[in-house]
């Protein structure tokens, strides 16, 4: 939305044309980009499939050790074979994909949601409030994220998806906060904000009905790209042994089987499906995110 139009619209919206909202431009860009559209459809199908199928799967049965089916290659009984404990790889892949997606989505919603609110408040009010809030951001940015995760996993006897996601989000909101703060600082100096203040609008009304709508496009793009990163972070943590245990599968725990040289060289059915799934999910989200990023650049849309 052009800022000038937004500013005058606060005074007399009837006399000015409405410009296309940021979210609508994003939709148009994704539809126009065939690769991004295909990626969106594929990502939606995978997400719906794994979340739907896990409703009919029992995790306890899938992770149950079966000594009579150890390291079996794919066959009619086990479509993707079994691991060294005789556990069905296909079932672990479905549940693991669901868990990795759930963690990625939860972490993204928590970190982006909090970061947006934090950044808007800091950038909009400015002054001493902004200074104090940014020092808090600096503090969180220098904390050793990996070391804290290791300590958390070590001292916690058990944890669920929500707890693990909250722990990750507690350290991954700072980038969004800094981005939104810089945008809010630019927006607060524009005419439409000044006009709203002159008309006596409350800070809350200005922030949520005028400032935030102009940031929606950037927030969606940032959230989409963060989703890919968060899925990768969770998979990486589980791969090195600081995510979920083997009896709570994720894509990272399946990939961790490849740390065994025999499995890596002679039993590719155990870890290759998880590697392919991670690659597909990351590429899908990346393609969607790149299309969304271009939607914010008028020059690229015209190219």
Please tell me the distance from the alpha carbon of residue 286 to that of residue 302, in angstroms, as a whole number. 21
pTM (2 d.p.): 0.82
- Report CA torsion sign: 237, 243, 246, 251: negative
pLDDT at 7: 42
- Report CA torsion sign: 206, 208, 214, 218: positive
- For 302, left (φ over 0), alpha (ψ -120 to 50), or beta? alpha
**Domains of the chain, start order:** 20-302 (1.10.3720.10)
Side-chain-side CA neighbours of residue 119 (13 Å): 26
Q: What is the pLDDT of residues 233-243, one digit of tens each?
A: 988 888 888 88
Q: Is the pLDDT of residue 303 over 50?
A: no
- For 230-256, what is the mean pLDDT? 86
Residue 75: CB partners within 8 Å, gap ≥ 6?
Answer: 81
Contact (CB, 8 A) for 31 and 220: no
């Amino acid at each position: 939305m052009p800022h000038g139009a937004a500013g005058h619209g606060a005074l007399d919206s009837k006399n000015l044309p409405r410009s296309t909202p940021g979210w609508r431009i994003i939709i148009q860009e994704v539809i126009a980009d065939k690769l991004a559209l295909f990626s969106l459809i594929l990502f939606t199908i995978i997400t719906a499939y794994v979340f739907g199928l896990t409703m009919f799967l029992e995790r306890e049965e899938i992770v149950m050790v079966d000594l009579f089916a150890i390291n079996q290659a794919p066959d009619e009984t086990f479509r993707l074979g079994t691991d060294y404990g005789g556990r069905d790889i296909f079932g672990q892949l479905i549940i693991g994909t669901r868990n990795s997606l759930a963690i990625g989505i939860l972490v993204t919603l928590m970190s982006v949601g909090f970061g947006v609110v934090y950044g808007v408040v800091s950038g909009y009010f400015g002054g001493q409030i902004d200074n104090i809030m940014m020092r808090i951001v600096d503090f969180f940015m220098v904390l050793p994220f990996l070391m804290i995760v290791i300590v958390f996993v070590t001292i916690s006897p058990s944890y669920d998806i929500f707890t693990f996601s909250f722990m990750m989000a507690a350290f991954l909101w700072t980038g969004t906060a800094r981005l939104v703060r810089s945008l809010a600082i630019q927006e607060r100096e524009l005419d439409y904000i000044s006009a709203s203040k002159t008309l006596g609008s409350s800070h809350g009304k200005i922030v949520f009905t005028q400032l935030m709508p102009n940031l929606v496009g950037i927030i969606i793009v940032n959230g989409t790209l963060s989703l890919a990163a968060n899925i990768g972070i969770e998979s990486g943590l589980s791969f090195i042994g600081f995510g979920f245990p083997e009896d709570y599968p994720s894509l990272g725990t399946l990939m961790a089987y490849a740390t065994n040289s025999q499995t890596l060289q002679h039993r590719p059915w155990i870890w290759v499906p998880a590697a392919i799934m991670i690659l597909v999910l990351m590429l899908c989200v990346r393609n969607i995110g790149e299309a969304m990023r271009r939607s914010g650049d008028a020059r690229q849309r015209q190219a």
